[in-house]
Structure 1
Amino acid sequence: MDLTVAGQHVHAGTGGRAFDPDLPLVVFLHGAGLDHTVWALPARYFAHHDLSVLAVDLPGHGKSQGAPLTSIAALADWVVKLLDEVGASKAALVGHSQGALVALETAARHAERVRALALMGAAPKMPVHPDLLAAAEANDHKAFDLMTSWGFGPAGHLGGARVPGSWLMGGGERLLERVKPGVLSADLAACNAYQEGMEAAAKVTCPTVVIMGSDDKMTPARAGAKLAGAISNAQQVLIPGCGHMMLAEKPDETLDALKTIL
């Protein structure tokens, strides 16, 4: 589906079904350097279970035009402009990693527009290692190597892909290699600069689930639990044997966790 948000072309996947503005809306927000394709399974599932789905390419990512937005706050305000564009008064927001920060900040800043929240691979703060920041700023392939190595848990490093013959870490690198120059650097810098997670969490009023991987090195489960503890009545789901890239590593378990809120 092609949209215009803030004067720029934006692409969004709809889960294989035509967008229906009369159905409850779910917006999926991807992580740093990624795009809407990471949501293929949950987007398709919920689109075929009486929900409208928008798995968006954030500005500058995937098929969306424009420069990447450089702060989590700016991205949160952009999400509301997206809702305005499709005529949605409210939506459930599902975010992974950087997308989780965006979803969290949107729910804090625009509580009346968010009916439910799913935060995956999330933490109150997401400091980025200086080596990764430097490599991304230099458009060095090392940034992709570091993100892939740190992002995947046992299923990626030792084998355990659900699809026979597939290579999780290789697929992860190929996806990152599609990102436009400067976009990953902007994303990581935005994550690194965001310090308002706990304050935002205290403002969330909608039903929320925080989904964590037991072997997540980038946003450890203890950090996800801390974030969940700051959100009123938030559910916590821990996926065993899973790293940060839960959509690829544990797709079925991740979908089951999302079903608890959507």
Structure 2
Amino acid sequence: MIVQVQGVDAYCYTGGKPFNAAQPTAIFIHGAQNDHSVWCLQTRYFAHHGFNVLALDLPGHGRSKGRACTSVEAMAAWVLHVMDAVGVDKALMIGHSMGSLIALEASHMAPARVSQLAMLGTTYPMKVSDALLATSRDDEQAAIDMVNIFSHSSIAQNPACPTPGLHVMGGARRLMQRMSQINPEHLFYTDFSACNAYANGEVAAAAVPCPVLFIFGTKDMMTPARSTKTLTGAIAHGKVVMVDAGHSLMAEQPDAVLGALYGFALKTSL
């Protein structure tokens, strides 16, 4: 589904179902150099089991037009504009990595509009190493290769890929390459810079009133569990779920992630 946000096309994947504003809505927000497709299993299940789904392509990513936003705050405001354009007053927000910061900031900007908050592969501050930041600016393909290696717990998932027919690492690498082809304006560097500069996370976390779920990968090298204490400490009522995966936990452990998300959505929406 394509909607107009401030005169520019914004793409929202609905999980193969027509949008129905009468149902509860789940908004899925991807991370850096990605698009809505990173949520392929989770979004289709939600859409076919009682939820309205909006899996967003952020500006400059995937099928959404316009230039990429340069700050987490601008991306959060854009998500709220999408809600306005679609006619959704309140939604469960689910974000991965950079997307988790966007969801967190959106809940700070408009707490009445976020019914539940799920943050996957998150941390705060979400600092990017100087070496990776420079590589994303000067050699995007090298940065893609670095992040792809760092984001997965192994070259091949054992005992086999959890999604038949899908090469997890190859698919992730190709998706990031496609984002570079769609938007050659240093997209990875723009996204990483936004994560690196975001400074409102602790304040936003301390103010979250709604139910919160954290999902962390036990083998995550990008946002390791030891770095998450600021957020989990600030949101003492948040539930923590650990899955046996790296940073790309939705692809490496799709069923475990789906089970945690859907159980949280059902329990906290009652």
**How does the TM-score come out when normalised to structure 2?**
0.92
Letter in 1 for 2:258: L
Q: Does 1:255 pair with 2:261? A: no
Say which SS state the counterpart of residue 261 (structure 1) adopts: helix
**Structure 1 residues 48 and 174: CA distance shift in structure 2, 3 A:** same
Deviation track 1:21-63 (CA, whole Å, cap 9, x = no partner) reads 1111111000000001111111101111111000010000001
Say which SS state the counterpart of residue 94 (structure 2) adopts: strand
Match of 1:213 in 2: 217
RMSD: 1.5
Say which SS state the counterpart of residue 103 (structure 2) adopts: helix
The answer on whether the counterparts of 2:157 and 2:252 sit within 8 Å (CA) in structure 1 is: no
Letter in 1 for 2:161: A
Match of 1:133 in 2: 133
What is the count of residue pairs matched by the alignment? 261
User: Quick one: distance in 2 between partners of 1:2 and 1:60?
Assistant: 14
Between 134-143 and 4-13, the greater mean CA deviation after superposition: 134-143
Say which SS state the counterpart of residue 204 (structure 2) adopts: helix
User: Quick one: distance in 1 between partners of 2:14 and 2:140?
Assistant: 33
Say which SS state the counterpart of residue 140 (structure 2) adopts: coil
The answer on whether the counterparts of 2:120 and 2:216 sit within 8 Å (CA) in structure 1 is: yes
Deviation track 1:72-122 (CA, whole Å, cap 9, x = no partner) reads 011111111111111111111000000000001111121011000000000
Match of 2:268 in 1: none
**How does the TM-score come out when normalised to structure 1?**
0.95
Match of 1:60 in 2: 60
The answer on whether the counterparts of 2:155 and 2:169 sit within 8 Å (CA) in structure 1 is: no
User: Unaligned 5+ residue runs, structure 2?
Assistant: 266-270
Say which SS state the counterpart of residue 27 (structure 1) adopts: strand
- Percent identity over the alignment is 42
Deviation track 1:222-248 (CA, whole Å, cap 9, x = no partner) reads 2234412211411000112x1000011
Say which SS state the counterpart of residue 141 (structure 1) adopts: helix
User: Quick one: distance in 2 between partners of 1:170 and 1:61?
Assistant: 19
Match of 1:3 in 2: 3
Between 63-72 and 124-133, the greater mean CA deviation after superposition: 124-133
Match of 1:222 in 2: 226
Q: Does 1:183 pair with 2:176? A: no
Say which SS state the counterpart of residue 119 (structure 2) adopts: strand
Match of 1:27 in 2: 27
